[in-house]
Structure 1
């Protein structure tokens, strides 16, 4: 079965509301073994919603819509679905009674506009909504199935789990399983990683994809099989190949800050941090790791108060790392210091220094510190320098 998702609501197009519903539905469909090939976001316009549904039915067996089932005049999903199926809307007194009972239970008066919610396309199967006033419904013809759910996330999730999944399993015979495992890599560029696993990214099952974020890379392995165990085996085989090809650049299922915190705990080492940037990207990244406070003895944030070229920045990073390690009696000191001025391309040299019981390690790389993303890249480079040392020492 192939599926498409249509998220309905002008607020989604205006950026006022983030569409979390589609992400949830996509995850749930994948777990149920249903391919999701496309997601569409459309505003509260009857003609455009109708067109989106008809187009989706031309490509997919299953279309799931969320939103636009409220009582106001801009809630036009019911009308659009009816038009897409060339059917009239029908009034259901039982639905209105349910809506009225819900308002009575809340000791609130029901508005006349709520009567609109008692209409569904002719022939549709009504899905009662005990969590809200917007009834959902399911409608089928020879093109496929459209399931229409409320846009309120809590209501949508409840109905998806209690009604949609049983429908797919019991009535549509969906028995396959899709599992997804996400691995994290760092220290190689996206293009290099892509070249090393290019053949895996071309295969049909399991599928392999890559995405970049803050100089860290997510590798997603998705496998389809008739059972959880079979899908797990397919993923494990592919993961073994990726581990062989990426070697120490592959972190595993945990992200970089978590891996660093785990290695510090395993080796029973403490860390002090010196950052020459007021934004403190290394500290911000480390705070994403749970229980890091036990390993992080102290932090000094000290932006430059005098000009420094690349060599001076490197010396300052090392001096700062050594000073904080002494001050807080930590096993390791990590220093980060950008030079004063960017080059003609806008990139600034950032120096990193790691002070260890046996010596020091230095690294200097250029980053565009004018953007938050560039500073996050610098934070990743610093943590990866620390990770490499900890990984070597734990072997």
Structure 2
């Protein structure tokens, strides 16, 4: 399962919002045995989005697009995906009904906002999806996503994106397995060992240097679990390793796409 991730948003390119969606998606897909081969961020421009989706859907097993859904003029992602797949954008009646109910409930729960602001919504436009697409709707947010052919479209707000990914997570299962060991050895001293393990075993080995008191990491990956186990055993015999493995840091996992001015992320 080879996957490409396309994140959409001018705010990402300007550095106004930290793009943690791509990292979260890559980790989730990898944990399910998939392999992310491309990650790219593009502006809120329909032609640019459509070009990349059109190209990648032919190259990869799946293309994940996140960001650019909603009701503002720069939310052009769904139309761009329709363009890329040469499909008409059509109103999905069930999605429209769900959005209508959401809008009605929001108005009932927030009378002070509905009295103060004009919250008139174009429900037909909001419910437009590429013809034949499977709507993806959650209670986490407003904007619907969709799955169409091998393209998956999610919102950019992290909590909404995560909830929507769970609806289709099983479709990203693959055969990639990996194991990580930790070593205090400096990366510059590992060159010959890394060359040797790659020659001996059908694996990829990533080397990530340590920082301060945190040891470096060697991540062994393959579609053959036995090869991974054998390569890790060989590394343990040829590289100084940390006996008690260090869990990967969780810093930033709860700060997905958040900045001070925009606490909801993208």
Q: TM-score, normalised by structure 1?
A: 0.55
1:312-391, aligned counterparts within 5 Å? none
* Structure 2 Cα separation of the partners of residues 35 and 208 of structure 1: 14
1:123-162, aligned counterparts within 5 Å? 123-140=132-149, 145-161=150-166
1:350-380 Cα deviation digits (max 9, x unpaired) = xxxxxxxxxxxxxxxxxxxxxxxxxxxxxxx
Give the number of aligned pairs: 237
Q: 2:197 is matched with which residue?
A: 200
* Structure 2 Cα separation of the partners of residues 208 and 33 of structure 1: 16
Q: 1:213 to 1:111 in 2, by over 3 A?
A: farther
Q: 2:5 is matched with which residue?
A: 5
* Structure 2 Cα separation of the partners of residues 204 and 157 of structure 1: 36
Q: How many angstroms does 1:19 deviate by?
A: 1.8
Does residue 1:251 correspond to 2:227, yes or no?
Answer: no
Given that 1:71 and 1:114 are in contact with CA atoms closer than 8 Å, whether structure 2 keeps it comes out as no
* Structure 2 Cα separation of the partners of residues 123 and 203 of structure 1: 48
Q: How many angstroms does 1:24 deviate by?
A: 1.9
Q: 1:214 is matched with which residue?
A: 211
Q: 1:164 is matched with which residue?
A: 168
Q: How many angstroms does 1:41 deviate by?
A: 0.9
Does residue 1:190 correspond to 2:187, yes or no?
Answer: yes
What do you get for the CA RMSD once the two structures are aligned?
2.5
Given that 2:155 and 2:161 are in contact with CA atoms closer than 8 Å, whether structure 1 keeps it comes out as yes
Q: How many angstroms does 1:203 deviate by?
A: 7.0
Q: 1:180 is matched with which residue?
A: 178
* Structure 2 Cα separation of the partners of residues 246 and 167 of structure 1: 37
1:269-301 Cα deviation digits (max 9, x unpaired) = xxxxxxxxxxxxxxxxxxx9xxxxxxxxxxxxx
Q: 1:205 to 1:25 in 2, by over 3 A?
A: farther
Q: TM-score, normalised by structure 2?
A: 0.79
SS in 2 for 1:214: coil
More strand per residue: 1
Structure 2 residue runs without a partner (length 5+): 252-266
1:118-147 Cα deviation digits (max 9, x unpaired) = 11111212122222111111111xxxx101
SS in 2 for 1:208: strand
Does residue 1:241 correspond to 2:241, yes or no?
Answer: no
SS in 2 for 1:251: coil
Structure 1 residue runs without a partner (length 5+): 169-173, 226-230, 259-287, 289-395
* Structure 2 Cα separation of the partners of residues 42 and 191 of structure 1: 35
Q: 1:72 to 1:201 in 2, by over 3 A?
A: farther
Q: How many angstroms does 1:81 deviate by?
A: 0.3
Structure whose CA Rg is larger: 1
Q: How many angstroms does 1:205 deviate by?
A: 4.1
Given that 2:89 and 2:128 are in contact with CA atoms closer than 8 Å, whether structure 1 keeps it comes out as yes
